[in-house]
Amino acid sequence: MTRPTHDPDLGPTPDPLRDPAFTGLIAFAPIKVWSMVVTIMGDLCRNPDDRITGQALGRIMGDMGVANQTLRVALHRLKRDGWIEALREGRSSSYALTPSGRARTEAVRPILYATGAPEKRPVFLILGDPHDPAAAFETALSDDATLLAPRLALSTDRDAPPDALVQTLQADQTPAWIIAEIAPPDLMQDYALLGETLRRIDTVPADPLDALTLRLLALHHWRRLRLRHGALPDLVLGDWPGARARSEVTRLLARLPRPTLDSFATLAAP
């Protein structure tokens, strides 16, 4: 099969000869190849000593339409940035997450693989003293806070700067401008499109490599969107496009289970 050419900075482009399930997910959004490698490593390398051969990576990325040269550039970047380490074995190499890369992967794993919305908890609207420096207000906020404007934030943590006004946000009374801040229109649109794209996938590819490729494409697009925000959209909006996309991702991942590294190496062999 003839593979498409593409801009290395944007990753693969759809191959018109592929199944619409693939072309729809490849065309969904530009794929940064280095980021896709992080998705693959995070999904398949579950243990500290897990490694993926360069040949296997090349096969799965090739199934997405990515050239070997583009993959090599991405691997070089990931090594330079401390995400992965390479082990030379004769004429071939294998790759593993570094301790730092693994720590970053593990930190987001509960978010990416969650099958439901985060546990309900209050969301607080925090208004700071207008006479205090805006920078000091931001510094005093918890890590999960979302800044809406200078000295105005949302947070699931009631702790606030001294003299700040803290009120519980009522989800059914949330004004549109706050909703637009925590879930911007472009995010809503991307989630709606992802959910609809995944919903149309109702058959599992017979070829195991194609099945894995479909799993990784779906997971990657979900990861790209989900890591743009925290829990606030789920807590404030309830049934929103992001929640519906998560349901579709959960459904698809259940139908396309993660292979073991041994079976992945076997199906990725030439």
What H or E segment, with its residue span, contains residue 248?
A: helix 241-255
What 3-state class would DSSP assign to 217?
Answer: helix
| Strands 146-149 and 152-155, bridge-based pairing | antiparallel
CA angle, 259 then 261 then 264, to 5°: 60
Tell me the average confidence (pLDDT) per consecutive run of 10 residues in the chain, 270 residues long. Answer: 38 52 80 95 93 91 90 96 90 91 96 94 93 90 89 89 90 89 95 94 86 94 95 93 97 93 74
Locate the DSSP E strands across 51-97.
52-53, 84-89, 92-97
pLDDT value at residue 64? 87
DSSP 146: E
Read off the pTM. 0.87
Distance CA 51, CA 204 (A): 27
Query: SS3 for 184-201, per residue?
Result: CHHHHHHHHHHHHHHHCC
For the domain spanning 186-255, the CATH number is 1.20.58.1460
